[in-house]
C-alpha cells in the first residue's frame, strides 16, 4: 500500500481484529453479571 515490502505488515491489523473480538466477547459475557452486582448494593 505504502511501498513497504514487509511480510509482517498485516500483523497490527490482525491484532486489532483479535482485540475487538475479545472485547465484544468479554462485554457480552459479563453484561448481566454487572447488573447483578448493582442490585446487591
**DSSP one-letter code for 3:** S
Phi, psi (degrees; rounded to nearest 5) at 29:
-70, -40
Residue 10 CA from chain centroid, whole number: 17
Cell numbers standing for residue 16: 486489532
- CA geometry: angle 27, 33, 34, nearest 5 deg: 75
Return phi, psi of residue 21, to 5°.
Answer: -65, -40
Residues 3-41 pLDDT 10s: 667 778 888 899 999 999 999 999 888 876 756 565 555
Amino acid at each position: 500500500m505504502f511501498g513497504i515490502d514487509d511480510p509482517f505488515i498485516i500483523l497490527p491489523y490482525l491484532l486489532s481484529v483479535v482485540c475487538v473480538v475479545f472485547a465484544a466477547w468479554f462485554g457480552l459475557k459479563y453484561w448481566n453479571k454487572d447488573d447483578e452486582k448493582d442490585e446487591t448494593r
